[in-house]
Structure 1
Amino acid sequence: MNTQLTDLTRGPAVASEQMADEPSVPTLTALLAQRARDAGDREFLRFGEWSWSFAEIDAWTSRLAHRMLEVDGVRAGDRIAIMLPNVVHWPVVWLAALKAGAVAVPVNCGYQRADLAFVLRDSGARAVFTDSERAGLVNEVLAGESGLAAVRVIDVADDGSEPFPDTPPVLDAATDSLANLQYTSGTTGFPKACMLTHGYWVRLGWICAAATGLGGDDVLLTSQPFSYMDPQWNTALSLTVAAPLVVLPRFSASTFMADVRRHRATFFYVLGSMPTLLFKQPPSPDDRDNDLRMVFCSGIPTALHAGLEERWGAPWREVYGMTESGIDLFSPFDDPTVVGSGSLGGPVPTKQVRVADPARPGEEVAPGEPGELTIAGVPMMSGYWNRPEATADALRDGWLHTGDLVVRRTDGGIQLVGRIKDMVRRGGENVACAEVEAALERDDRVVAAAVVAVPDGVLGEEVKAFVQLREDVAADRDTAQQLLESAGAQLARFKVPRYVEFVADFPRTPSERVSKPALKARAAEQPGTTYDFARPRS
């Protein structure tokens, strides 16, 4: 084993005190080339029982980049769409596109005709890399859209890269070179594409490496769709620390921890409902039989936080970020006081945060008062593709307006209380849906909850809760009453839902968050039994 490789496998790849430093390599493609040189034989990507080393992925992506340039006529700045499930071809096409000087356009595999047509038109994609399962839909969209007739479709089953050189094309990528048009989930209307540079991804991998202390002897694991940004920043993290990344086909609460054990994963990231779904799986004697060292999570249920750590024997810490900004806040792993506190932690050294008055965005609210979280610093998107007005609205004087309501705690941490737009305005009171959902989900009988506003002739809006119960719990009025009584012990009276409807599951976004527009649409088309707990008007 050479000296460089020994250094890569010993201790943290990036020291915590280096978090604010400039990353040592400026682009993702240069980072891959460096790993091919200093850790070429080490495992990089693992999908199922198959794995590839850093050198193998470097060579494959170089060959495919040449194919894109010489066969597909790709030029610097061209957009390359990727519509694939979690298979190795996804990161290979992504990194190859960047080597060709192109811009990757991740496409959700769940998209149907209208969504796909919009993304291809909006991005101006020159080519689509896909598989046989989705090629029919892609070709149908291209045939039906006159402006897309010239878009090429490449089936990754035979990407045609074999005859080409395994050395990268000579192209000048820089830190500020555009790498991705990353479309957000789009909870209302069509999504917007965040313009993300090489520097965004490299910086994100660098900060996460410093925050976790991961090194070459670790094993990372992800299960979210690769079209979402989480597996992509996990890839950047893997390249930064020279450790393998295990990619599961999808998230399954019933098998996830068995996969963690089988692959001997030491780190993973989960978000949304995933921690609750994992915790509510039946306990097993094997729960602590794992190699986990740490878990990053966005949205750890406060009531479950200590139980999550005790059950699987590893620290769980909050990390906050958005597609627009990468990573903004985190709770250090060496601070046990945050467990169960609900704190998102503090800003990473490259970010500044303000808790702004929504009515007067330039002014900060007092500690303990709710305000909008605004963020400045790096990494940060360059703006929204083709959306100058949306960019100007989101990025004002260098500050990103997140739309999240937070409070600054007395200990200096930031605590999330809801979304500015995810509120129920009941009479003269504002009810944060996230707060009510958390109160309901503290009940062991509840798998997940989603709270929405419904029209009310007197109060304007009322509070309705959609609740998914454990399989052994009766979905009846008595259960609904008991859940509201439990929530009522934690919430102000005006925040307790008037309506409760039980559901078997929730429609979800690629980031595993409940899609409330889809939920409300489903409830309108297929209404279930709604229990009305009307109370005296107040």
Structure 2
Amino acid sequence: MRGTPDDPDDLVGLLDHAASRWPDREAWVFDETGQRFTFAEVAAHTDAFATALAGLGVGRGDRVAVMLRNRPEFPLLWLALARLGAVLVPVNTRYRELDGEHVLAHSGARLAVTTDEFRDLLESIAPATAVERVLTVDDLATGTETAGTGTVGTATGAPSGGTGELPANIQYTSGTTGAPKGCVLPQRYWTTLARGLVTDFPHIGADDTVLTAQPFHYIDPQWNVALGLYSGARLVVLDGFHPSTFWHRVREYGVTWFYCLGLMPTLLLRMPPEPDDTRHRVRAVSASAIPAELHAELERRWGVPWYEAFGMTETGSDLRMPPDEHDDFVGTGCLGRPAPGREVMVADGHGRPVPRGEQGELLLRGVGMMHGYHDAPEATARAFHGGWFRTGDLATMDADGRVFFVGRTKDMIRRSGENIAAEEVERALLRHPGVRAAAVVGVDDELRGEEVKAWVVPATGTGTGPRGADAANTGETTPDPAELAAFCAGKLAAFKVPRYWAVVDSLPMTDSERVAKGALRTDDGDPVAGCYDSREGRWR
């Protein structure tokens, strides 16, 4: 099924439609630099980059790695590559030699575009990959590297028609449980996501101003760009998420809707209340994994409803809380109902639906999802069952079809025959006023199979790293692990209370503001060395 000029199924159609319908309307504002673009200017700059890339031989199917911070050239290059039928490979700006090499080599990118900040890094990595050239955005903008220098691909010109299923991205996952995998995302992935946010809640339109604070190499700013092109809404791009100034920017730009996820809601609540907290134009906030115990407080603090939303890099936007049901489910952890174009099933280990109310794995299917994992047929086969995508999340579905999150299948701890959802223990810890962030993992234990280990970041002050004995001397700014264990014992069954405790300055995070659990599980040496052992009442 192809899109129409008024309802495109590809990014090129979105861009052309926006430039034709709202040429003089402000499309983008980049907060850090003050740069502003109308929709007509976005189209013109996109065409200029497309011409420069085509001059280098970039054409349909070619993969181009882009390593840029939150600056206009990132979305412009993305749209330019889409116009050529080429594929964007976003590179995390936190990556260094090994993780950067993995993405470049695995993706098969033959051209990399960056700035002087990362050029040396990419050039040092390039010999171990298929990358033939590393250029800066200034090189492309001036055309100094596009003439008489050979090609990095076989140019085929701009594709015409039926481009919705052409790959637009090889988008690498955040790697919360293992090495990042490259999701092959078609152009229809982005138009499906944008369309759902316009035709369904939150019904974004041309009078809206939306805001994004995540890095552009993550999917959120990209689908916000697609949303703006589809709806005519103005997009404000921050250089990153800064809890102390976030709501100031929301008020300054008259933002009417934004999306956040991970630790962002908790970190915002940690900021001191201000007289202007409820003085803004926001009509709704969408967020993933809203801490259930903080949901009502978030709404009271800023005087606006927060709506749960569920999605994945592999699948896009999948579940959301309908506005007419919101009030009855605040603080319940309910994910809502399927988004437009999505079907949902809660299934057993054989892919069969479980009875309503029983726990199973959340499965999804529908239009605009990833084609599969790049160059990973076995991983792709494991991810799909009979056309359904296996999310790896445990959930229940009530009698009326609403979905409730339970935990990650890969984030369950098996202790003395009991299953423990790490997320449940983390939620309990975050209710303690002395805890800013927490992560819970399982560690091997000869007697019980696994024991529960908690990593805790103090709410104020700083921790001292894994050696908790020193942390115990930092005074009231650092929570006492023995007191935390007692606190958990009052909230959870005894078998769920962590035995081992580490007080740290920070946790390794993905760009989706989730804890990189894989990094916590790959510590060298004894995983409980330097931890407080609440069973033995001593530091190990």
Residue 34 of structure 1 corresponds to which residue in structure 2? 17
Query: How far apart are residue 520 of structure 1 and its match?
Result: 4.2
Query: SS of the residue aligned with 2:368?
Result: coil
Cα contact 1:28–1:236 (8 A) shared by 2: yes
Change (3 A) 1:97 1:456: same
CA–CA separation in structure 2 for the residues paired with 1:526 and 1:262: 46
Q: How big is each residue's C-alpha offset from its partner over 1:177-224, in whole Å with a ceiling of 9 and x where there is no partner?
A: 111111111234432111111111101100122221111111110111
Unaligned 5+ segments in structure 1 are: 1-20
CA–CA separation in structure 2 for the residues paired with 1:444 and 1:412: 35
Residue 338 of structure 2 corresponds to which residue in structure 1? 347
Q: How big is each residue's C-alpha offset from its partner over 1:385-440, in whole Å with a ceiling of 9 and x where there is no partner?
A: 11111111101211000111112235532111111111111011111101111111
Change (3 A) 1:524 1:242: farther
Query: SS of the residue aligned with 1:345?
Result: strand
CA–CA separation in structure 2 for the residues paired with 1:528 and 1:263: 49
Residue 382 of structure 2 corresponds to which residue in structure 1? 393
Amino acid at match of 1:39: W
CA–CA separation in structure 2 for the residues paired with 1:320 and 1:314: 19
Query: How far apart are residue 349 of structure 1 and its match?
Result: 3.5
Structure 1 segment 472-483 matched on structure 2, within 5 A? 476=472, 479-483=480-484
Residue 305 of structure 1 corresponds to which residue in structure 2? 295
Amino acid at match of 1:264: G
Structure 1 segment 85-484 matched on structure 2, within 5 A? 85-142=69-126, 144-145=127-128, 147-148=129-130, 151-160=132-141, 170-173=158-161, 174-209=163-198, 210-335=200-325, 336-358=327-349, 361-410=350-399, 412-471=401-460, 476=472, 479-484=480-485
Query: How far apart are residue 531 of structure 1 and its match?
Result: 1.8
Unaligned 5+ segments in structure 2 are: 147-156, 464-470, 473-477
Query: SS of the residue aligned with 1:45?
Result: strand
Query: How far apart are residue 481 of structure 1 and its match?
Result: 2.9
Residue 50 of structure 2 corresponds to which residue in structure 1? 65
Query: How far apart are residue 126 of structure 1 and its match?
Result: 2.2
Amino acid at match of 2:114: T
CA–CA separation in structure 2 for the residues paired with 1:522 and 1:470: 24
Q: How big is each residue's C-alpha offset from its partner over 1:291-312, in whole Å with a ceiling of 9 and x where there is no partner?
A: 1111110010111111111111
Query: How far apart are residue 453 of structure 1 and its match?
Result: 0.7
Change (3 A) 1:313 1:105: same
Residue 516 of structure 2 corresponds to which residue in structure 1? 515
CA–CA separation in structure 2 for the residues paired with 1:161 and 1:35: 26
Residue 487 of structure 1 corresponds to which residue in structure 2? 488
Query: SS of the residue aligned with 1:508?
Result: coil
Query: How far apart are residue 488 of structure 1 and its match?
Result: 2.2
Amino acid at match of 1:392: A
Change (3 A) 1:355 1:23: farther
CA–CA separation in structure 2 for the residues paired with 1:490 and 1:389: 41
Cα contact 1:292–1:313 (8 A) shared by 2: no
Sequence identity (%): 45
Residue 5 of structure 1 corresponds to which residue in structure 2? none
Query: How far apart are residue 528 of structure 1 and its match?
Result: 7.6
Instruction: Select between 196-205 and 108-117 the one with higher mean Cα deviation.
Output: 108-117
What is the count of residue pairs matched by the alignment? Answer: 506
Cα contact 1:315–1:333 (8 A) shared by 2: no
Query: SS of the residue aligned with 2:314?
Result: coil
Query: How far apart are residue 379 of structure 1 and its match?
Result: 2.2
Indicate the RMSD between aligned Cα atoms, in angstroms: 2.4
Cα contact 1:195–1:384 (8 A) shared by 2: yes
Query: SS of the residue aligned with 2:46?
Result: helix
Cα contact 2:485–2:534 (8 A) shared by 1: no
CA–CA separation in structure 2 for the residues paired with 1:534 and 1:306: 35
Cα contact 2:201–2:322 (8 A) shared by 1: yes
Query: How far apart are residue 154 of structure 1 and its match?
Result: 1.8
Change (3 A) 1:96 1:291: same
Task: Give the alignment's TM-score, normalised by structure 2.
Answer: 0.89
